[in-house]
Amino acid sequence: MPIDMIVNGEAKQSAADPMTPLVDVLRDEFHLTGAKPVCREGFCGACTVLVDGEPRAACLTPAGLAQGREIGTVEGLSAGGRLNPVQASLVEHDAVQCGMCFPGMVVTLTHFLAQTPRPSRDQVRAALTGNACRCTGYERIVAAALDVAGA
């Protein structure tokens, strides 16, 4: 049975087995390769996407649970070729190193800053608990997030 979902505002249909991880459907069927399957255990956050507007680990989300849901990926956050404020701030702070964690960082921080417009440093750090940067570039990432918030 095909799985219907809205991906970045566009109606999509997947033929995948319903227990297929959503990240594989997004990458292999829909060719949205921003979300990265890295740990596949929900620890690293590189596969973070929005499900009905909320960040989720796409590696642990079965495609069957995406039926009828709105999925947002990092590609949808820079629609029209313009970086969103989080992305622009990360560039400004030269925070991007190997890039593996960044799609997840951007999705998590974009949602977090919309919910918490003036966060403390500790709140930013807590929000990034599930996004591991293997280059350990956290200081610049946190600084970029605080800069977006005008803190």
Applying CB under 8 A, the residues found at the interface with other proteins are 1, 17-19, 21, 40-43, 45, 48, 54-57, 59-62, 64-65, 67, 108, 126-127, 129-132
Work out how close the CB of 58 gets to other proteins at its nearest, in angstroms, rounded to a whole number: 9
Nearer to other proteins by Cβ, of 91 and 117: the residue is 117
Residue listed under structure tokens 């890039």? 99
Min dist CB 67 to other proteins, Å, is 7
Sign of CA dihedral 109, 110, 112, 113: positive
Nearer to other proteins (CB atom), residue 94 or residue 139: 139
Residue closer to other proteins by CB (options 94, 125) is 125
Neighbours of 40 (CB within 10 A): 15
Q: How far is the CB of 123 from other proteins (least distance, A)?
A: 11
Strand partners, 48: 57
- Residue 21 and residue 42: Cα distance in Å, rounded? 12
Q: How far is the CB of 94 from other proteins (least distance, A)?
A: 25
Task: Tell me the C-alpha to C-alpha distance, in Å, between residue 106 and each of 3, 18, 41, 113.
Answer: 27, 27, 19, 10
d(CA 151, CA 143): 9
Identify the sign of the CA torsion 141, 145, 150, 151: negative
Specify the residue, 9 or 53, whose C-beta has the smaller distance to other proteins: 53
Report the nearest approach of other proteins to the CB of residue 122 (Å).
11
Of 32 and 59, nearer to other proteins (C-beta) is: 59
